[in-house]
């Protein structure tokens, strides 16, 4: 499992190659901090999620960086504020 960090202005986002991404506040964090939100790779857009819900692009790819930046612009601040629920841990907000 590879974890790739991104730091768009709205939040710190760490993408895991095994199917999810974690969203943390932009402020400094320490080891053991729980994410404000845990999302599924499919939320990042078409082509990011591959077979078995794994990452379909390389962790350092422009496509992944662009998808993370777009998701963060649209949802990052709301995720940090808790407006999206907790995400993949089973506490998603209703659709």
**HEC readout, 32-65:** CCCCCEEEEHHHHCCCCECHHHCECCCCCCHHHH
What CA–CA distance (Å, rounded) separates 22 from 26? Answer: 12
Predicted structure pTM score: 0.84
What CA–CA distance (Å, rounded) separates 72 from 77? Answer: 7
Q: What is the pLDDT of residue 95?
A: 42
Q: What is the pLDDT of residue 94?
A: 47
Show pLDDT as tens, one digit a residue, over the chain (95 residues): 788 999 988 899 999 998 999 999 987 766 778 899 999 999 999 899 988 888 999 999 999 999 999 999 999 999 999 999 887 655 555 44
Segments making up each domain of the chain, as ranges: 3-81
CB atoms within 10 A of CB 22: 22
Q: What is the pLDDT of residue 1?
A: 72
């Amino acid at each position: 499992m590879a974890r790739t960090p991104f730091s768009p202005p709205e939040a710190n986002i760490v993408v895991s190659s095994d199917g999810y991404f974690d969203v943390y506040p932009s402020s400094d964090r320490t080891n053991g901090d729980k994410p404000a939100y845990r999302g599924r790779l499919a939320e990042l857009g078409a082509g990011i999620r591959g077979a078995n819900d794994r990452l379909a692009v390389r962790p350092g790819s422009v496509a992944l960086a662009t998808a993370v930046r777009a998701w963060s612009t649209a949802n990052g601040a709301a995720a940090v504020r808790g407006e999206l629920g907790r995400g993949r841990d089973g506490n998603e907000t209703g659709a």
